[in-house]
Amino acid sequence: MRVRIIEPILKVKKQKKRVCAYARVSTDSEKQEESLENQIQYYENIISNNPDYEFAGVFADKGITGTTENRPEFQRMLGLARDGKIDLIITKSISRFARNTAIVLETVRQLKDICVEVRFEKENINTLSGDGELMLTVLSSFAQEESKNVSDNLKWRAKKKFEQGELIINTTRFLGYDKDEYGDLIINPKEAEVVRRIFNEYLSGKGGFTIAKELNVEGVQTISRKKWCESSIYLILKNEKYKGDAILQKYYTPDHLKKRSVRNRGEIDSYYIEDNHSAIISREMWEQVQEEIKRRAEAKGNVAGDTYKYAKRYPLTGMLYCSKCGSTLRRRTWNSKYSCKKIVWQCSNYIKNGKDACTGTSIDDDFISRLNIKEEIIVREEVKDGKKHYSYTCKSKQGQSRGANTAAKKENGSLLQSINRPIRTVIKL
């Protein structure tokens, strides 16, 4: 028997690997920016000059910590990998890829499942190799511990500065001040006028909501270039910096991995410095404002003491919700200066942000107060044939069938004895 091998006429062309690189620096400093540019140029060269590689880009995040997944370029790279457009990811080291052990392992495993390799140059680890994950687990835990040490060192340095009375304050976060070449607070004259106006108008009898509304109408900008709101007015009124003092370490970061700051309510030391810088508001005026805030809060039933938000003054407070946007309905007095005044419950989102945010829901207090409401309900308002139609649904049963609504027998509706299921009533406009 004679066997002859028939060689294939068409040779299978070796497919190139689609290769990208990931680079990251954690700060926006010029030195770090130069380092990032060097990393990008380096990876472009080694990938483009390899005949077995097809260049798939360099993804680089600047000024973002590696302990979080919230990195735009990192997520864009992972998205392309999931779409089958990347075969190999090259990065300098585990710490450049991520400083959180859980993120490293979870991401690498996801990529491994879709046959995407990650190669760490410094540690010489290939995630598709047999011992790749074991090595990665050990070394990434070192990277996470290194991140914790860096975080602890920064906290220690900040604490020492606070103890010596040195400020670490970002003037782009509050109105009225800039920093000089020595890092000291100096008054910004234009912004200071806005601050004085807010204090004066509050003492003249205006509320935070009214002041914010007038500033928005006049086009006066906040420090963040956003619209004024009631809360931003009260943050200014309560800020001790405007009387020349400074509280250091109002916020702190409990978890170095999440990097999220929380209000310091006595968990760690804080430092109060008197007469630290030039005041925009006199101490007397600042104290008068604090007393006025407290007086108004108590008059409106606020027992919290340290907040401008109202406590539950009325039986229906926090019980009624707008069906259109989900916000609570707020008790308001219409035409309060006239004999035709009436009390209504109206969508708080509509009150604060206008009809662009929500077209609004409103219902007479006289009517809704006579209903036997024992739990949170959603108020649905519709206009048909010149009349307002209302239906009420228990908030806890919002997801249940909407077909349970029953029409009221009379046009003006009968009073609810119970709101255990959705019902419908009708009143005239």
Strands of 131-250, DSSP E: 177-179, 185-187, 246-248
Instruction: Look over the chain and give the mean of its residue pLDDT values, rounded to a whole number.
Output: 76
pLDDT tens for 99-155 read: 666 677 788 888 888 999 989 888 888 888 766 666 666 655 555 555 566 555 655
Q: Which amino acid is at 314?
A: Y
Domain boundaries, the chain: 17-147, 171-299, 320-428
**Which pLDDT does position 419 carry in this prediction?**
37
Q: Can you tell me the mean pLDDT for 309-327?
A: 77
224 pLDDT higher than 90:
no
Q: Which amino acid is at 384?
A: K
What pairing do the DSSP bridges indicate for beta strands 125-126 and 117-120?
antiparallel
Task: Note the residue count of the chain.
Answer: 429
Q: What is the pLDDT of residues 41-69, one digit of tens each?
A: 899 999 999 999 999 999 988 866 645 66
In three-state secondary structure terms, 92 is: coil
Residue 414 has pLDDT above 50, yes or no: no
Question: Which residues are within 8 A (CB) of 244 and not within 5 positions of it... i.e. 6 or more apart?
Answer: 274, 275, 276, 277, 278, 279, 283
Tell whether the model's pLDDT for residue 237 goes beyond 90: yes
The total of other beta-carbon atoms located within 10 Å of residue 360's CB is 19
Residue whose C-alpha is closest to residue 394's, from 422, 372, 365: 422
C-alpha span between 90 and 122 (Å, rounded): 11
Structure confidence by residue, pLDDT tens digits, 179-215:
888 778 889 999 999 999 999 999 998 888 889 999 9
What ranges in 204-318 are assigned the alpha helix state H?
Answer: 208-217, 230-237, 283-299
Residue type at 224 in one-letter notation: S
pTM: 0.44
In three-state secondary structure terms, 10 is coil
- 236 band by pLDDT with thresholds 50, 70 and 90: very high
Does CATH number 2.60.120.10 belong to domain 171-299? Answer: no
By the 10 Å C-beta count (0-12 exposed, 13-18 middle, 19+ buried), 377 is classed as buried
Cβ neighbours for 144, distance < 8 A, ≥ 6 positions apart: 67, 99, 100, 101, 257
Q: Is the pLDDT of residue 417 over 50?
A: no
Condensed to tens digits (0 to 9), the pLDDT of residues 375-388 reads 888 998 888 887 88
Q: How far apart are CA 380 and CA 128, in angstroms?
A: 57
Q: What percentage of the chain has pLDDT greater than the value 70?
A: 67
- pLDDT of res. 31: 63
Residue 284 confidence (pLDDT): 93
pLDDT, greater one: 252 or 371: 371
End-to-end CA distance of the chain: 103
CB-neighbour burial class of residue 127 (10 A; exposed 0-12, middle 13-18, buried 19+): buried
CA 115, CA 109: separation in Å to the nearest integer?
10
Q: Which one is predicted more confidently, 101 or 91?
A: 91
pLDDT at residue 402 greater than cutoff 70: no
225: CB partners within 8 A, 6+ apart? none
Structural fold of domain 17-147 = Rossmann fold (3.40.50)
| pLDDT for 156 | 60
- 413 φ/ψ angles, rounded to the nearest 5 degrees: 80, 145
User: Which stretch of 36-50, 252-266, 281-295 has the lowest confidence by average pLDDT?
Assistant: 252-266
Could you tell me the pLDDT band of residue 222, with boundaries at 50, 70 and 90? Answer: confident
